[in-house]
Structure 1
Amino acid sequence: MLYKSLIKPLLFRMDPEKAHHLIINGLHNASNVPGVKGLLKGLYGVNSTPDLQSELWGIHFDNPIGLAAGLDKNAKAVPGFSRLGFGFMEVGTVTPKPQVGNELPRLFRLPEDQALINRMGFNNVGIETMAKHLAKATHHSIPVAVNIGKNKATPNEHAEDDYRTCINKLYGYGDFFVVNISSPNTPDLRSLQHGDDLYRLLRTVQEEMKAQHNKHGGAVKPILVKIAPDLEPEEIRYMVQTIVESGVSGIIASNTTLSREGLTHMHKGEAGGLSGLPLTKRSTQLIHTLYELTEGKLPIIGSGGIFTAQDAYDKICAGASLVEVYTAFIYEGPALLRNLNEGLRKLLQRDGFKSVTEAVGSTHRHR
């Protein structure tokens, strides 16, 4: 209640990007103060119960609710976020070289639509600085995925070099990795989702992941592909075929959308990717399609418009093993995590599932 009654009104009077930096810097600074980590966990932490726990790719998840990429772009506040009740989190998108991103303003709130539009453009500090941040966050308590991309100046025919460089530098710091080829804010990036470009890219990242595993040892680290929701059925089929044949570990569905259907806010005409409530049904349907095309054999992380436990549950039943939030966290605050987890427990009990893993893909079985 503190967030929605006091903190959110103050943040929403600020420029969205300035508010974003205030949150990240605040969590970063707070996590360095003795006793604050425990306070955050006490106020917002989520009790881990067996029904919400899962094991995927050899990684343990205390609950299925993760933080999507884009909020902690530079892995600056990992310890802080890890105390708020997330089951896992993504950091990034990071590129080999630092880049400033697109011109300001580039982030817009649409409160009436419970949505955000961003055209950030992969603004980040680069792999060298992110490595330093992650090295200081080695005692985080949740799995961390590193979301990787290419620099704007890198042409698509050399894109695989940027992804290889990111893996090479950051392999030792992430629990798993995500190939971002679906942001609408880097020119021509989404074309990497198709044909020979996709095949060549995934072959390269797989080779680099294997090389790094041979170098570092330990458990094999998974690598996932994050795709866009704005795809035609035929495009999805060909993409899934290439992804499956590449041997990657899973898919994240989905990134932001270019659609503006049903929006009412004055910012609806702003260029960029739309996230939030308008994406809920679109991303759930994409998860459903992916699960069918892969016959449930390739794990899916569902992302897009999760505001309630029912939203998360719908994605899980459609085929998502894990889910992610971003926009709802901005609108609802840290209490969202506890609400989602408690709501999921009730929904699982209602439908007779002993664990969240039993519910994954259940819509297809009931059909």
Structure 2
Amino acid sequence: MYRRVVRPVLYRLGKGDAEVAHEQTLHGLRRLGRIPGAVAALSRTYGALPTGSPRTVFGVRFPSPVGLAAGMDKNGIALPAWRALGFGFVEVGTVTAHPQPGNEKPRLFRLVEDEAVINRMGFNNLGSSALADRLAAYGDLGYPLGISIGKSKVTPLDDAVEDYVTSLRRLSAYGDYFAVNVSSPNTPGLRSLQDAGHLRELLTALHAEAASLSVGGLGGKPILVKIAPDLTPSAIDELLAVCTEVGVAGIIATNTTIGRPGVESHPLAAETGGLSGRPLTEIAAKTVAHIHAETGGALPIIGVGGILEPADAMRLFDAGASLVQLYTGLIYRGPGLIRRINRGLT
């Protein structure tokens, strides 16, 4: 039904502008979450989780290992509804210390034939202070919440550490884990923070701040690092060495790619931004497998990228992922994909 009826309607919104469909979907879910009984009704269709699916990773118990990736609900406006679609956890953001509008529109493009998306959103969000207020109003969501934090565009790279620390400080009480996004291709210079020296300084400061709030370090709220799929194996190994040294709780692999694997001839391939969806299936699986092998399975991995079928999720689990996340797959396959993956876990 989603692919035959719902998806064509969404694709026509805003004269085909993918961002309009995104926003309309979010606001629809937000309204649904406010209707008494609506979330419960939706849960009966999509939200049932298979027996035996809960698992504990980096000290957090997840009712299902299938989560919503960052980027879909940056400001957390639809959080009550996501669990009803079958997600076992949700990652909000990426959020920055300063509110920012993001890059100029249009900035989100569907490559429908390739089941891919190119985005150059640029961390458009209302800021970490606004997100903290919203999360305080929600109270207990009934599932684990991850919070992705990034650098504000107006903040110079030399001041990036304080920018991240500010967001962590504001949001520390509300996240079950924190994802440090140093791999988006849409904020100038951000990926340089994946370099060993910069990354060590950033993660050390975040752990120190978390410890001072009595929620961090090795015994508190887990801090994860989200990496780019464009790193060479040696660069990944160098990054992993820093993460192990500092005491990072896990790795999220991967973000979007600046490459155009398999879509080079598409008319939209020249658009600037990160590519997600089917072209990342192979890259994400290989990256997860490399991280798992390099760390001997000691560092938990959230696998994300190119999940459009249950088999894609299972491949990431087989490669060493403890959890997986969806975003682009939800756009092309709808909430039925989450249900099918959850059923496959049985």
Q: CA deviation at 1:315?
A: 0.7
| Alpha carbons 2:62, 2:144 under 8 Å: kept | yes
Q: CA deviation at 1:57?
A: 2.2
Q: Does 1:22 align with 2:24?
A: yes
Match of 2:247 in 1: 247
For 2:129 and 2:239, the matched residues in 1 are separated by 32
For 2:73 and 2:206, the matched residues in 1 are separated by 23
For 1:227 and 1:149, the matched residues in 2 are separated by 12
| Alpha carbons 1:112, 1:265 under 8 Å: kept | no
Q: CA deviation at 1:267?
A: 1.1
Match of 2:281 in 1: 280
Match of 1:159 in 2: 160
Q: CA deviation at 1:265?
A: 3.1
| Alpha carbons 1:68, 1:325 under 8 Å: kept | yes
Match of 1:202 in 2: 203
- Percent identity of the aligned residues? 48
Q: Does 1:49 align with 2:51?
A: yes
| Alpha carbons 1:302, 1:324 under 8 Å: kept | yes
For 2:176 and 2:321, the matched residues in 1 are separated by 19
For 2:127 and 2:170, the matched residues in 1 are separated by 10
Q: CA deviation at 1:136?
A: 2.5
Q: Structure 1 unaligned segments of length 5 or more: list them.
A: 346-367
Q: Does 1:320 align with 2:321?
A: yes
For 1:20 and 1:270, the matched residues in 2 are separated by 19
For 2:214 and 2:83, the matched residues in 1 are separated by 26
Match of 2:42 in 1: 40
| Alpha carbons 2:91, 2:146 under 8 Å: kept | yes
For 2:22 and 2:137, the matched residues in 1 are separated by 22
The 3-state SS of whatever aligns with 1:226 is strand
For 1:248 and 1:237, the matched residues in 2 are separated by 14
Q: CA deviation at 1:343?
A: 2.3
1:148-297 matches, cutoff 5 A: 148-213=149-214, 220-263=220-263, 264-297=265-298
1:101-120 matches, cutoff 5 A: 101-120=102-121
| Alpha carbons 1:48, 1:62 under 8 Å: kept | no
The 3-state SS of whatever aligns with 1:236 is helix
For 2:322 and 2:49, the matched residues in 1 are separated by 19
For 2:291 and 2:306, the matched residues in 1 are separated by 18
For 2:238 and 2:76, the matched residues in 1 are separated by 34
For 2:113 and 2:138, the matched residues in 1 are separated by 37
| Alpha carbons 2:49, 2:64 under 8 Å: kept | no
For 2:84 and 2:41, the matched residues in 1 are separated by 9
For 1:334 and 1:136, the matched residues in 2 are separated by 27
Instruction: Give runs of ≥4 in structure 1 deviating > 4 Å.
Output: none
Q: Structure 2 unaligned segments of length 5 or more: list them.
A: none
For 2:306 and 2:137, the matched residues in 1 are separated by 32
Segment of structure 1 superposing worse, 157-166 or 264-273: 264-273
Q: CA deviation at 1:60?
A: 1.2
What TM-score comes out, normalization by structure 2 length? 0.96
Match of 2:7 in 1: 8
| Alpha carbons 1:184, 1:258 under 8 Å: kept | yes
For 1:55 and 1:320, the matched residues in 2 are separated by 13
| Alpha carbons 1:213, 1:221 under 8 Å: kept | no
The 3-state SS of whatever aligns with 2:180 is strand
1:58-69 matches, cutoff 5 A: 58-69=59-70
What TM-score comes out, normalization by structure 1 length? 0.90
Q: CA deviation at 1:10?
A: 0.6
| Alpha carbons 1:177, 1:223 under 8 Å: kept | yes
> Number of aligned pairs?
341
For 2:173 and 2:200, the matched residues in 1 are separated by 25
Q: CA deviation at 1:129?
A: 1.2
Measured against aligned partners, the alpha-carbon deviations of 1:263-282 in whole angstroms (never above 9, x if no partner) come to 14321111100000000010
For 2:3 and 2:233, the matched residues in 1 are separated by 40
For 2:81 and 2:180, the matched residues in 1 are separated by 25
Measured against aligned partners, the alpha-carbon deviations of 1:146-177 in whole angstroms (never above 9, x if no partner) come to 00011011111211101100110001111111
